[in-house]
Each structure stands twice: as C-alpha cells, then as structure tokens.
Amino acid sequence: MLRSLSLGVARGCSSAGSLLTRAVSTSLPVASGSSQEAIPGIDVEPSADLLRKARVQPVLLKPYVDPVLHNEDHFEMAKEVSIADMFAARVHYGHRIGTLNDNMKWALYGERQGICVFDLNVTQKYLIKALNFLAHVSYRGGMVLFVTSDKANMLMVEKMATDMGQYSHTRKWQEGTLTNTGQLFGASVRLPDVIVFLSTLSSVLERHPGVVEAAKMTIPTIGICDSNAEPNYVTYPVPGSDDSTPTLKYYMQLFKLAVDKGREAREKAGNA
C-alpha cells in the first residue's frame, strides 16, 4: 500500500496553481477602475472594487479566469459518453428495491420486477461533469487515486491505473490513510488531488471510509453510486451500477480517456 501513494512535496505546496493567474512570471500592473474589462490572454489582476462586487456576482470574474475553464464541457466528453454504450455496459442495472438508499431515488428511472433501473440520461449528465473535472485535474498535473473494495475487479483497476500513470488503492483501507499520514507513512506525503471511487461502499456494504477522509482533507471525489450507496459526501456522484466487470471496464476506459486528454492538453500547452 505504501507503493500506492508517492512520497514527495507536501500537499500545501502542490503545483496545482491558482485559478486567477496562469503561470505569471512577469507581473503586470493591476487594472485600475472597476469598469475596465480584462482582455483574454493578458494576465491582469482584478481590482479590489471588482473583487468586492464579485462576492455577490461571481460571474464578473469570468474574464480573469483561465479560458480553459470557461466552457463546462471543455474536453468534449459529451461525444464519448453515449446512452447506447452505457446500456451495453449494463450501467443501468441497480440492486433490489429492498436495498434502495433513499438518497439515490433521484437517479432512478424506476424498478422492474423488483430491480432498480437507473435513468441513463441522468447518469450521462453527471458522468460528463465528472469526466471533465478529471480531465481538468490531469491538465493541471494532478494525482488521481482510484479506490475500490471489489475483490473481483481489483487487479483490473490496479493495472489500468498504472497504465495511465496514476495510482490505485484496492486493498484494505487503513483508517487514517489520508488524515493520519504522519503516523502511517512517517514522512509528509503528497496526497491525491482527486480520488475516484469505483464503488462508494466497502466490502461490508457500508460507506467507504475513504469518502469521509477525503472530505475532511478537502480532496474532491468522484464516486460511482449504486442504488444502495450513499452519495452524500461525494463531490461528483455518478449514479450507475458498480458491480459487473464489463461496467467497471467501461468506467475505467472513460476515466483513462479523460486523464489522457488532460495530459495531452497539458503537453500541448507546455510546448506552445
């Protein structure tokens, strides 16, 4: 498990960068006057007056934000996620109606012969959001940790995570993996920038302790939430099946695509 988390720079000094200015080496004068609009491409800090107004109207800061973040679907994940593919990958199968968690009712299309069926239109919407976020994290050079307690598929997840140059944790989750790194690993450890839960439940069908630990450490999480899962502490819940091997393979392929897209965009921006 020590191999899964890399030793390095502590999280506080991570190179994720601030959202407002992008890699500014030469400092430009602060724009004076609240009426002045920032021209995209020129790194200008917003004035104090504008910042005060932006407290109630955050959209005023949009010209100062990196153009990459302007479009919600910047990495065009809507093309990659199709209802037909999700259906073939059995994403719409839920558990029995008797095991339904009340907090997952919003994602269901209904139940058929006692088996919950997910509404793939809802799943598609949330999956696109999650994939875009993952691509953005990869674009900024972030570390992704894939977590699952599914013993049948853990080797596949480990392999695919290594293939995309990221990390995985599929063994028993030790309490304090994220919150007590000093005691568990000795030195200060770089924590992941996003954690992807292939299933938000542990092997005893309770909420995975990693979800709460990530929330405590303010690490955003992407979680595949089945019909018996609790989506409460997950930042980007994706309602769908988390049990069949073809389903998990489908998710991992999409996550790999998102991470690769982000990395390619990063390399392209670095070269340009």
Partner 1 sequence: MLSRFVLRRLASSALKPHNFRNTSTATATSTTSATATDDFDFDDFEELISDVTSIKHDSTQTFAKLLRESKFVQLGDFDGRLVIGNIVHRVHDDLYVDFGMKFNAVVKAPEDDATKYTIGSRVLLRLRDPELSEKFLGSKRELTLLEADASLVKLLGGGQGPRRRTTTPKQESQPPAKSVEPSES
Per DSSP, 143 falls in state -
In this complex, which beta carbon is closest to partner 1, that of residue 60 or of residue 100? 100
What is the footprint of partner 1 within residues 201-240 (CB under 8 A)? 205, 228
- Within 13 Å and on the Cβ side, how many CA atoms surround 94? 31
Tell whether residue 83 is a contact of partner 1 (CB under 8 A): yes
Q: Which of 36, 71, 174, 245 binds partner 1 (CB under 8 A)?
A: 245
In this complex, which beta carbon is closest to partner 1, that of residue 59 or of residue 84? 84
Per DSSP, 57 falls in state -
Residue 61 is which amino acid? L
Tell whether residue 243 is a contact of partner 1 (CB under 8 A): yes
| 138 and 262 Cβ atoms separated by less than 8 Å | yes
Rg (CA), the chain: 20
Q: Which of 119, 129, 141, 232 binds partner 1 (CB under 8 A)?
A: 119
**Tokens, residue 111:** 């139940």
Tell whether residue 103 is a contact of partner 1 (CB under 8 A): no
Question: How many amino acids of this chain bind partner 1 (CB under 8 A)?
Answer: 30
Q: Which of 42, 59, 84, 187 binds partner 1 (CB under 8 A)?
A: 84
| 173 and 208 Cβ atoms separated by less than 8 Å | yes
The DSSP bridge pattern shows strands 108-112 and 93-96 to be unpaired
Q: Which of 99, 103, 174, 180 binds partner 1 (CB under 8 A)?
A: 99
Tell whether residue 120 is a contact of partner 1 (CB under 8 A): yes
Beta-carbon contacts of residue 113 (< 8 Å; ≥ 6 apart): none
Which residues of the chain form contacts with partner 1 (CB under 8 A)? Answer: 82-84, 87-88, 90, 92-96, 98-101, 109, 112-113, 115, 117, 119-121, 152, 205, 228, 241, 243-245
